[in-house]
Amino acid sequence: MSRLAQRGGTAAATISTTALPMPSDDAICPVCKASRYWNSQVPMLMNPECYHKICKECVDRYFSHGPAPCPVAGCGKTLRRNRFRKQTFEDLQVEREIDIRKWLAGIFNRREDEFDSLKDYNDYLNQVEDWTYNLIQNIDVEATKKQINAYKEANQKDIAENVSLANQEHLTYEQRQAAEKQQARLRREAARREAEEERRIKEEGRNSILNKVASGEANLRDTNRVELKRASGRGPAKPQLTDPFLEDASKGAASPGFQIKGLKKRVQVAPEAPFDPFEGLLYKPQYHVVRDNYPWDFLDSTRKDIKHAAGGYDVAQYCARALCDAFSGLGVFIEDEIAAREGPPAPEVVEQAAAEAATSGISVDPKIKDDVF
Amino acid sequence: MAMALSPAQYIAASANDKAVVAKAKALTILSNNANSKPSTTTTATADLSEQLNEETRNRYEKGRKLGEGTYAVVFKGHLKSDPASLVAIKKIKINANYKDGLAMDAIREIKFLQELSHPNIIALHAVFTSKNLQLNLVLEFLPRGDLEMLIRDPKNVHYGLADIKAWMVMLSRAVYFCHQNFVLHRDIKPNNLLIAEDGEVKLADFGLARSFADPYEKMTFEVITRWYRPPELLYKARHYSGAIDVWSVGTVFAELILRKPWMTGTTDIDQIDHICQNCGTPLEENWPGVSKLDNYVPPAPSAIHPIPNKATWLGNFGTVGPQGVDLLRRMVTLDPSKRITARGVLEHEWWISDPRPTKKEQLPKKGGGEEKMGEDLKRTGRDFEADGRVDKVARKLFP
């Protein structure tokens, strides 16, 4: 996939768009007229530039010194040796269509999960298929190519990302591990380089201050201020880092023609919160404080009792329990809980109840109505 | 009951809210019943509690029998209003020993389960009586078996350090929650740790639970399955604390690592012997006052095992790393007053060290019988759905 994409990226834009050569007799090389009849070992090669078939010997001869025009009479397209290959399909139409599709598949590699809805994804696929059809049938080739290239320019980063995603899916575990290590190494190196750079700039700044002071050029205080400012500014010459997503988005908006609709906004996955063994259920009494010691003979005698101590009986736990029993009622707000459970009472209902009560002759305070006891 | 109020102070706890909501619901049912006409099934003379009981019983549909023990029969059931909401209905058998009352276990189970609401403790949805005044507990349906099943099946179940950590942290949370509400579980062992559909471990069987005792109030020492019983109970201590549960947690931890029960005494004396060999012989030096406990017999000087050093522990349990071994050693410290507390367990650094505990959904599970079938059925459904999905995507011609 990646190799395809790379190859496609550089060369596949030059897949022949003119009429294909007429299916000629397979067996004869149009250049040297060597027939397979005489020499069955020599394979025939073709180039997706013009799809003319030439025998391998002629290819070696003609193109060993770099690009050269196609030797077939009346063609003259510039061909390179590395793009010559064996024909896969007997029908050159099919061969060409496959080439075009491979090239486009390398560019239009968006995945379904990148889209908001299935319809958006299908619209996108439909658009791609339209262009593919245009290229295959030679309809509006130039315009189509322009649009495709504009898309490619605008979405270079996404394309590369999806390519690497596809690669990752194929990688085995070990390979992935190795790649991660490599990435980490690169990151470390970058960080180190940055630190080095910073240090160098600082050093330079300090040296120049020292030089100036040494040569008595300037007042120390002024120099200091200016140079420090320069050092901390880290130089305006350094290219500013911009958000690649923003940049991409603006490019995409600027490029005319094709806009992909319904692409999901990319969300950065929030890093996992540190593990909490208590799961948020750490107990802390709100309305009382448990002290370490209470002056009470009973507790002291328990503490001193050897059987309690040896059995692991915990007097502090007893105190905590007693205090909890005594004060827990302070944390219960029944009215709040009822309000939270039922939500604000609907005024109509209350009025209705009051009206009913009035007609039946019993006076009911609407506030007490909730409380059965 | 004092317990009812204690969860009220959890800062971020939903437990409290739930408990209150449950009570509020009970109140509304009660008030509805009082206001509305009695349902057709109850006679007009039935008193309020009978009406309530009837109401609760009619909410559940009892299904097929899942298992039967000496103490209870368990049925599968569901809410009548929602057949998808599965529950387990535990019907307590009328016990010959308690002819004129309820079985102690049942009372304890109801008393504590209805108060404790925590993700790692089995939920008690309702209680009702069926005919002959048989007690029925409506419990959370936990179809994935128990931890013991996973430990005892090394052929089909493979688990690692992160999985052990995940199970242990769930168990430790449950124990911490119990102790924080002043409840001693007193029967922690792998087959009382049930596994929910989503992999969550739930502490069950509160048949031996009790609340913390007052000073000089005697508690029984005949609790906790022998292999998981701490030395102070084997020495017949009558005054103990949460440290006994922590010991059990430690032995479960060791069992998870070893994949077999750790100290398997055949009698109480044999169990003490196992503890001496594995954790050192309890002496006055390492456990002040131990010789005053009722069942303590001073060992012959030749039979004294020293407390094993760190290297020995690492040799036996090294797979959980030095921090995990440290936690285990603290959990199975001989002297209960020096043993780590349930809160101390959760504050230990092992939990936050690498690797992070496995997410509960990804924990190893064991399929079997009905559950397996259910899974299979689900899978086919999903596949059909996937096929339908593919049909909707415009076909990509290449690649």
For chain A, where are the alpha helices, taking DSSP H only?
A: 2-10, 56-63, 92-107, 118-137, 141-154, 156-170, 173-214, 220-233, 244-254, 297-304, 306-311, 315-327, 334-342, 347-360
Average pLDDT for residues B281-304, to the nearest whole number? Answer: 90
Q: How many CB pairs under 8 A join A and B?
A: 158
Is the domain of A254 the same as that of A151? yes
Instruction: Check B216 against A1: CB less than 8 A apart.
Output: no
Least confident of A153-157, B226-230, B387-391: B387-391
CATH superfamily, domain B11-140, is Phosphorylase Kinase; domain 1 (3.30.200.20)
Highest mean pLDDT among A298-307, B324-333, B350-359: B324-333
DSSP B362: G
State the nearest Cα–Cα gap between B302 and chain A, in angstroms: 24
Per-residue pLDDT of B8-66, as tens digits, reads: 344 333 444 444 444 444 443 434 444 444 444 445 566 888 888 888 888 998 888 88
Average pLDDT over residues B224-230: 93
What is the pLDDT, as a whole number, of residue A234?
46
Confidence band of B243 (pLDDT split at 50, 70, 90): very high
Integer distance in angstroms from the first to the last C-alpha of chain A?
75
From A190-194, A212-216, B341-345, the region with the lowest mean pLDDT = A212-216
Range from A204-213, A269-278, B214-223 that averages highest in pLDDT: B214-223
Q: Do B5 and A332 touch (CB under 8 A)?
A: yes
Closest-CA residue of A relative to B390 is: A118
pLDDT at A27: 65
What 3-state class would DSSP assign to B240? Answer: coil
Q: Residue A258 — pLDDT band, cuts 50, 70, 90?
A: low
Best of A170, A281, A332 to mutate (most B CBs within 10 Å, chain B): A281
In a domain, residue A70? The reply is: yes
Instruction: Give the other-Cβ count within 10 Å of B286's Cβ.
Output: 16
- Domain co-membership, A193 together with A246: yes
- Residue % of chain A over a pLDDT of 70: 69
| Spatial separation of the C-alpha atoms in residues A255 and A250, rounded to whole Å | 9
Of the ranges A137-141, A344-348, B316-320, B354-358, which one carries the lowest mean pLDDT score? A344-348
Residue range A309-323, pLDDT digits in tens: 899 898 988 999 999
Q: What mean pLDDT is predicted for residues B280-298?
A: 91
The answer, yes or no, to whether ipTM is higher than 0.85 is no
- Closest residue of chain B to A338, computed from CA coordinates: B24
Do A131 and A43 meet the contact criterion of CB atoms below 8 Å apart?
A: no
Three-class SS of residue A249? helix
**Which long-range CB contacts under 8 A does A269-277 form with residues at least 24 apart?**
A272/B356, A274/B352, A275/B351, A275/B352, A275/B356, A275/B357, A277/B169, A277/B172, A277/B173, A277/B346, A277/B347, A277/B348, A277/B351, A277/B352
Query: Are the CB atoms for B379 and B373 separated by under 8 Å?
Result: no
Which pLDDT band, with edges at 50, 70 and 90, does B262 fall under? very high
Let me know whether A247 and A150 are in one domain.
yes
Q: What is the spatial distance between Cα B171 and Cα B202, in angstroms, rounded to a whole number?
A: 7
> Which position has the token pair 């002056």?
A295
Task: Average the pLDDT over A246-265 and give the result.
Answer: 54
Considering the domain boundaries, does residue A296 fall inside one? no
What average pLDDT is seen over chain A?
75
pLDDT for B45 equals: 60
Average pLDDT over residues A130-156: 90
Whole-number pLDDT of residue A213: 78
Quote the CA–CA distance of B206 and B106 in Å, as a whole number.
9
- Out of B163, B187, B205, B273, pick the active-site residue: B187
Measured between CA atoms, how close is A80 to chain B, in angstroms?
26
Binding site, annotated residues of B for ATP: 66-74, 90-91
Domain count, chain A: 3
Question: pLDDT category, B377, cuts 50, 70, 90?
Answer: very low
What CATH topology corresponds to B147-361? Transferase(Phosphotransferase); domain 1 (1.10.510)
- Rounded to the nearest angstrom, the minimum Cα separation between B86 and chain A is 25
Strand partners, B89: B75, B138
State yes or no: pLDDT of B370 exceeds 60: no
A269: confidence class by pLDDT, cuts 50, 70, 90: low
Give me the pLDDT at residue A268, please.
64
Chain A, 243-302: which have a CB under 8 Å from a chain B CB? 272, 274-275, 277-287, 298-299, 302
Q: Are residues A83 and A164 in the same domain?
A: no
Q: How far apart are CA B182 and CA A283, in angstroms?
A: 12
* Cβ separation B215–A286 shorter than 8 A: no
Asked whether the domain spanning B147-361 has the same topology as the one spanning B11-140, the reply is no
pLDDT digits (tens, 9 = 90+) for B163-212: 999 999 999 999 999 999 999 999 999 988 998 888 899 998 888 899 99
With an 8 Å Cβ cutoff, is A321 touching chain B?
yes
Is residue A293 a part of any domain in this protein?
A: no
The CATH number that applies at residue A47 is 3.30.40.10
| Interface check A136 vs B, CB under 8 A | no
Of A125, A275, A338, Cβ closest to residue B394: A125
Would you say residue A116 lies in a domain? Answer: no
Give the residue-averaged pLDDT of B237-251: 94
pLDDT band at B339 (very low <50, low <70, confident <90, very high): very high
- Answer yes or no: is pLDDT of B76 > 50: yes
Nearest to A249 by CA among A234, A260, A237: A260
A101 and A198 in a common domain: no
Question: What is the band of B121 on the pLDDT scale with cuts at 50, 70, 90?
Answer: very high
Helix (H, G, I), strand (E, B) or coil at B128: strand
- In whole angstroms, give the CA distance from residue B52 to residue B29: 8
Q: What pLDDT, on the 0 to 100 scale, is given for residue A291?
A: 86
Predicted local confidence at residue B231, as pLDDT: 94
Last-in-domain residue among A219, A249, A271: A271
pLDDT at A285: 80
Q: Is the pLDDT of residue B398 over 70?
A: no
- Return the amino acid letter for B179: H
B187 flagged as catalytic: yes
What pLDDT sits at residue B314?
93
State yes or no: pLDDT of B336 exceeds 90.
Answer: yes
Instruction: Please check whether residues A158 and A263 belong to one and the same domain.
Output: yes
What pLDDT, on a 0 to 100 scale, did the predictor assign at position A344?
A: 60
Q: Is residue A179 part of a domain?
A: yes
Q: What range defines the domain where residue A356 resides?
A: 334-370
Q: Reply yes or no on whether the pLDDT at B278 is more than 90.
A: yes
Find out whether A251 and A154 touch, Cβ atoms under 8 Å: yes
User: Which among A101, A324, A336, A369 is the top mutation candidate for probing chain B, defined by the most B β-carbons within 10 Å of its own β-carbon?
Assistant: A324
With H, G, I as helix, E, B as strand and everything else as coil, classify residue B120: coil
Question: Do A310 and B237 lie within an 8 Å CB cutoff?
Answer: yes
Is the pLDDT at A239 greater than 60? The verdict is no
The sign one gets for the Cα dihedral A240, A243, A245, A247 is negative
Can you give the pLDDT at residue A341?
80
Q: Which of B6, B32, B354, B359 to mutate to test the interface with A (most CBs of A within 10 A)?
A: B6
Q: Do A318 and B216 touch (CB under 8 A)?
A: no
Question: Does residue A244 register a pLDDT over 90?
Answer: no
pLDDT of residue A249: 41
At residue A345 the predicted structure's pLDDT band, cuts being 50, 70 and 90, is low
Q: Return the higher-pLDDT residue of A158 and B42.
A: A158
Name the residue with higher pLDDT: B236 or A212.
Answer: B236
Residue at which a domain ends, from A86, A107, A128: A107
Contact across the interface for A278 and B396, Cβ inside 8 Å: no
Q: Which of B6, B292, B337 sits opposite A328 (nearest CB)?
A: B6
How is chain B split into domains, by residue range?
11-140, 147-361
- Does residue B145 or residue B391 have the better pLDDT? B145
User: How many other CB atoms are found less than 10 A from the CB of residue A28?
Assistant: 17
Q: Which of A15, A41, A211, A186 is nearest to A96 (CA)?
A: A15
Note whether A312 contacts B237, CB cutoff 8 Å.
yes
pLDDT interval class at A162 (50, 70, 90): confident
How far does the CA of residue B355 sit from the closest CA of chain A (Å)? Answer: 10
Q: Which of A107, A123, A151 is the last residue of a domain?
A: A107
